Amino acid sequence: MCASVHHVFLIFLNPAPPCSGPTLTSGLVNSTVASAKLSLPSVGGPWSRYECSACVSGANPANCKTAPQCAAGAAITTCLLPGLTPSTKYEVVCVAAKADGTKSPPSNAVLITTEAAP
């Protein structure tokens, strides 16, 4: 008796490009406000806004400060993160979001330190 052999070949003609989050670079920082400079993700759009958070380095994520949403219309956008504590180290991460609420993967994390109070 002969055994049956089945071969399966998968061919991906147009694989989806990997989805990545926005690119984040830090901007100006003072004692209570930081700015996040963002570039839109290269795939997965159209993106309508950014959502950013600043978490105290090494602290409970529940204690993060969430920035007001900012529009993601331009290739590079600057979002403000107000309400930070002076002389504190934060880790800032952002996501891009579509009008329907779908979000990108998180951006790279950027470490910032707010200035001492004036």
Q: Where are the domains of the chain?
A: 23-113
> Backbone phi, then psi, for 62, in 5-degree steps?
-65, -15
User: In the prediction, which pLDDT does 86 show?
Assistant: 92
Residue-level pLDDT at 43: 80
Whole-angstrom Cα distance, residue 93 to residue 97?
Answer: 13
Are 96 and 22 in contact, with CB atoms under 8 Å apart? yes
Fold of 23-113: Immunoglobulin-like (2.60.40)
Question: Can you give the pTM of this predicted structure?
Answer: 0.76
If pLDDT is split at 50, 70 and 90, which confidence band does 19 have? Answer: low
pLDDT at residue 21 greater than cutoff 60: yes
The predicted model gives 103-111 an average pLDDT of 89
> Is 7 a residue whose pLDDT tops 50?
no
Q: What does the DSSP 8-state code read for residue 84?
A: P
pLDDT (tens digit, 9 = 90+) per residue, 24-70? 887 778 889 888 888 888 788 788 888 888 888 777 777 788 887 78
Q: Is the pLDDT of residue 84 over 60?
A: yes
